Amino acid sequence: MLTESKSVLADGTRVEDLINRETREVSMRVLHDRELYELELERLFAKTWLLLAHDSEIPKSGDFVVRAMGEDQVIVSRDRTNEVHVMLNVCPHRGMRICMGEAGNAQVHRCIYHGWAFKPNGDFIGAPIEREQMHGDVFAKSELGLRKARVAVYGGLIFATWNIEGPSFDDFLGEMKWYLDMLFCRTDGGLECVGPPQRFIVPANWKAAAEQSASDGFHTLTAHRSLMETGQFGNDEESIYANAPAMYGIDIGSPHGHSLRCIPAETTFSMFMGMSDLKNLGTEERLQLLPPPGIPKELVPQLKTHMDAKQYELLAKAPPQVGGMFPNVLIAFIYAPREDGKYGGALTLHTYVPKGPDHVEFLNWIFVEKDAPEQMKRDMVANAVRTTGTSGTIEQDDSDMWPHQSRAARGVIGRQGTFKYGAMLGQNKPADWPGGAYVYEGFTKDDTQWDWWQYYFQLMTANNK
């Protein structure tokens, strides 16, 4: 049961005082404090559902990848029954790391220190010299397996949590699932990951990146201004403030800190096809002319079979394109221009994995539709590489901001400053809006990021009784 906690940091500061819910301010101290970081590992990364992998990364029995849940390293594996498991990558004998590589295939995971062996589902097989009972006589073999996390596979995405008795994954998503289904559960074949995720370390606190992923639209006008000035997004310099992506539209928020940005089709058609008047175009015509990113025209009919009528219509009118999942996921299912002047798309997910209070590991998965034509897959990968990840024009802008924020929080005076979330639309759901959750229509403001901090506050000021 969650109960209010009176957590106090070493200097007497209460955790709850770091976030002023009346003035909507967050202390800059949250980007540098070591004590707070340790609490985050305990109360966020050991309690919430975390994205670790995609099932296309481990297609065969015995396949595995090694990922992180906070600073706990885990093995994500597939067993002979096709079930996916997530286990702590720590031998219960003497605390040795089991899997020394990042990925591979193994029907037996053997500790190189004392030889204890485990199945792909984490069950203990045995230790060397069975007749001598080298595993001891205190615990039965059934008690000596690797520690297992709770697993949910959603649209091919593999999530896990250590909170075994906590909220289900569906409860965690809540009403946001209706929108997310349009991205991850839309075709017969589903998505597939193109290679392992890109990985790089940024000298910044993980929250600088994660709170931006809660549909921050403000930074589009300034941090990404060069993308519009050079014509990569938008039309020309003069039209930046009218056509900046992710500014005018509908933001979707959540009591659990998830968010999505639904961008009106009029904006997208104008940017990529030079069409501003869509009054005479019905749902089918729109989706054929400009399918969702990553969807070839021949797969458009499958959208209707995987969605209800309201979801299908929303895809044509104001599809979700960018957003985040609490605590550390960014979603970017975006339209992107190609070198030949035509439009394409990029399907990527990021996670921001904490590596201490001053560093974050950025993982970038690139996806394509499994049943898309091979040329389209190549185009999608090229688009994603150009715009996101280690070489992406978008990420070059974003990842330059976070270290500056984090460095500012180290200073005695700098850490006394605050993040301010004073610009709010407030919930103003249009009468004809088909979906639930928190709905904010208009010029994007601070609402969804404040939702993120509200859930952060809730988890950080609560304990399991």
| pLDDT given for residue 423 in this prediction | 94
pTM recorded for the entire structure:
0.93
Final residue in a domain of this structure, among 105, 134, 162: 162
Is 204 among the domain residues? yes
* Residues 194, 349: Cα–Cα separation, whole Å: 12
Is 1 among the domain residues? no
Residue-wise pLDDT tens digits, 303-353: 999 999 999 999 999 999 999 999 999 999 988 766 555 567 899 999 999
What is the pLDDT confidence band of residue 266, given thresholds at 50, 70 and 90? confident
Q: Are residues 136 and 193 in the same domain?
A: no
| pLDDT given for residue 244 in this prediction | 60
Final residue in a domain of this structure, among 103, 128, 162: 162
Q: Is residue 289 within 8 Å of residue 271, measured between CB atoms?
A: no
Token duo for residue 401: 């901001």
Q: Are residues 147 and 183 in the same domain?
A: no
User: Which residues are CB-neighbours of 299 under 8 A, at least 6 positions away?
Assistant: 187, 291, 369, 371, 372
Q: Are residues 201 and 155 in the same domain?
A: no
Token duo for residue 184: 């991850």
Q: Which residue has tokens 């010029």?
A: 443
Query: What is each CA distance from 241 to 218, 320, 401, 418, 443, in whole angstroms?
Result: 11, 21, 21, 27, 11
Q: Which residues of 397-425 are buried (b: 16+ CB within 10 A; e: fewer)?
A: bbbebbbebbbebeeeeebeebbebeeeb
| pLDDT given for residue 464 in this prediction | 45
Provide the CATH number for the domain around residue 453.
Answer: 3.90.380.10
Domain that holds residue 79: 50-162
Q: Which residues of 40-53 are buried (b: 16+ CB within 10 A; e: fewer)?
A: beebbbbbbbbbbb
Total domains present in the chain: 2
Is 314 among the domain residues? yes
Question: Looking at the predicted structure, is the pLDDT value of residue 224 above 90?
Answer: no
What is the pLDDT confidence band of residue 4, given thresholds at 50, 70 and 90? very low
Q: Are residues 189 and 290 in the same domain?
A: yes
Q: Are residues 265 and 398 in the same domain?
A: yes
Provide the CATH number for the domain around residue 146.
Answer: 2.102.10.10
| pLDDT given for residue 369 in this prediction | 96
Q: Is residue 249 within 8 Å of residue 318, measured between CB atoms?
A: yes
Is 189 among the domain residues? yes
Q: Are residues 203 and 152 in the same domain?
A: no
Q: Are residues 360 and 296 in the same domain?
A: yes
Is 148 among the domain residues? yes
Q: Are residues 206 and 115 in the same domain?
A: no
Q: Are residues 79 and 197 in the same domain?
A: no
| pLDDT given for residue 279 in this prediction | 76
Q: Are residues 233 and 360 in the same domain?
A: yes
Q: Are residues 223 and 325 in the same domain?
A: yes
* Residues 394, 404: Cα–Cα separation, whole Å: 17
Question: Looking at the predicted structure, is the pLDDT value of residue 131 above 90?
Answer: no
Residue (of 452, 450, 426, 454) closest to 439 by Cα position? 426
Is 6 among the domain residues? no
Final residue in a domain of this structure, among 128, 162, 196: 162
* Residues 158, 55: Cα–Cα separation, whole Å: 7
| pLDDT given for residue 145 in this prediction | 96
Q: Are residues 94 and 219 in the same domain?
A: no
Is 4 among the domain residues? no
Residue-wise pLDDT tens digits, 397-450: 888 889 999 999 999 998 999 999 999 999 999 999 999 999 999 989 999 999
